[in-house]
Amino acid sequence: MRRTEHGSEGSYMAQAYMTEPGQGHTPGQTGSRAERLRNWWRPEGTWRRGMVLAVLAVLLGLVMILHAQIPNTVGNLGSLLETFLPWVGLGIPVLLLAAVLRRSATALVALLLPVFVWVHLFGGQVTDKAGEGGNLTVVTHNVSADNPDPAGTAQDLVKSGADVVALEELSGDAMSTYRQGLAKAYPYHTIEGTVGLWSKRPLTDTRPVDTKMGWNRALRATVTAADGQQIAVYVAHLPSVRVNPQKGFTANPRDTSAQALGEAIAADPVKKAVLLADLNGTMNDRSLAPLTSQMRSAQGAAGDGFGFSFPASFPMTRIDQIMMKGIDPVKAWVMPATGSDHLPVAASVKI
């Protein structure tokens, strides 16, 4: 009996001495936690982990850099992507957080691709490019047919001090409200269908522009500046677009109108031109190429940030545009909200 106890004790002691450091769970053994912390970024693990995240990062970068190659043949998918293209970059911080939590050096390196692409595409837009020396200020605003306070909106536009104001989505009784509210500050105006133009300078050669819609939502007028220079000013409201689960991004009517509007501007004998419009599309959208190929975006050339204008409650995209050719944009900005679901946008130009 005594020998058995001695044998058991010896066996226990032998096992104790054979136990490697860091094993066991006694209170005095803290090596396991320290070891885990030291191994957090151990090289042999960080490069093998997170391969799926790395692939997603590369795909994110490719989607942004090759967005023009995504076809419009199926539900205008390419145009839909380009409408919200800057927001694709939100995938970068999400993947970055996942890579850190996964402790994946491979995923972190792969993230350099979408970061570089996003900065290349949009880095210039987040800086302030405003200059000085403008001698004409223009404003365009989709005032919304459901605007509960057209009189207040008219007052806000007058307070802007703009020389030329273009309005889209004029309708019903609100049209006379805008006429009355803007008349004193803007003695010259013209209205065609649901779009109108108000100016402090004389307007001549005013006429509707056929955008293949069946009713008037575009006009053209010549504005004579103080120094006698003439500018062709176009006001337009292109057809709305919709995202439909069955049909995709329904933008074909808008695209047809953009083509017709682009042709009218290109054929205009007055070479200095300004387009004030709700295009229902962004400058990234390939379907607006008939316009973007011949005119500059004031926001892109002289704005501060993306200049998102819609929806007014939480702007996510810029579909309200000021574009020009033969004229230098000096400054572009987004004005405070009115009673509309769009924000008014403004630009100062040098003729």
Tell me the residue range of the domain where 118 lies: 24-125
Bridging pattern class, strands 248-250 and 273-278? unpaired
Task: Give the span between the Cα atoms of 147 and 165, in whole angstroms.
Answer: 17
Q: DSSP secondary structure string, 204-243?
A: EEEEE---SSSS--EEEEEEEPTTS-EEEEEEEEPPP-EE
- Are residues 313 and 343 in contact, defined by beta-carbon separation less than 8 angstroms? no
Q: Based on the domain organization, do 165 and 117 belong to the same domain?
A: no
Q: Last residue of a domain, which of 125, 149, 178?
A: 125
DSSP letter, residue 286: G
Same domain, residue pair 148 and 95: no
Q: Are strands 328-334 and 273-278 parallel, antiparallel or unpaired?
A: unpaired
Question: Which amino acid is located at 132 in the chain?
Answer: E
Same domain, 268 and 133: yes
Domain end, chosen from 93, 125, 157, is at: 125
Q: Tell me whether strands 218-224 and 136-142 are parallel, antiparallel or unpaired.
A: unpaired
In angstroms, the Cα distances linking 203 to 50, 165, 214, 232 are 63, 12, 25, 10
Of 125, 148, 172, which residue constitutes the final position of a domain?
125
Q: How many domains does the chain have?
A: 2
- Residue 125 has what pLDDT? 86
The reply to whether 185 and 285 lie within a common domain is yes
Whether omega for the bond prior to residue 311 falls within 30 degrees of 0, making it cis, is yes
Residues 136 and 280 grouped into a single domain:
yes
Using CA atoms, how far apart are residues 181 and 167, in angstroms rounded to an integer? 13
**Same domain membership, residue 160 and residue 58:** no
- Residue 310, in any domain of the structure: yes
Residues 256 and 328 in one domain: yes
Pair (327, 179) in one structural domain: yes
Spatial CA neighbour of 294 closest among 216, 232, 215: 232
Intra-chain end-to-end CA distance of the chain, in Å: 111
134 and 278 share a domain?
yes
Contact 308, 318 (CB under 8 A): yes
Beta bridge partners of 224: 230
Q: Which residues pair with 324 in a beta bridge?
A: 274, 296
Q: Is 10 part of any domain?
A: no
User: Residue 153, by phi and psi: left (phi above 0), alpha (psi -120 to 50) or beta?
Assistant: alpha
**The predicted structure's pLDDT at residue 234:** 98
Q: What is the CATH number of the domain that holds 228?
A: 3.60.10.10
Q: Are residues 61 and 28 in the same domain?
A: yes
Residues 6 or more apart whose Cβ sits within 8 Å of residue 258: 238, 279, 281, 287, 288, 290, 291
pTM of the model: 0.82
Q: Token match 């942004």: residue?
A: 64
Mean pLDDT, each 10-residue run in order, the chain (351 residues): 47 44 46 59 66 95 93 80 92 95 92 96 89 93 97 98 98 94 98 97 97 95 93 96 67 93 97 97 94 97 95 96 97 97 97 87
Distances (CA, A) of 62 to 77, 114, 115, 172, 323: 16, 8, 11, 48, 29
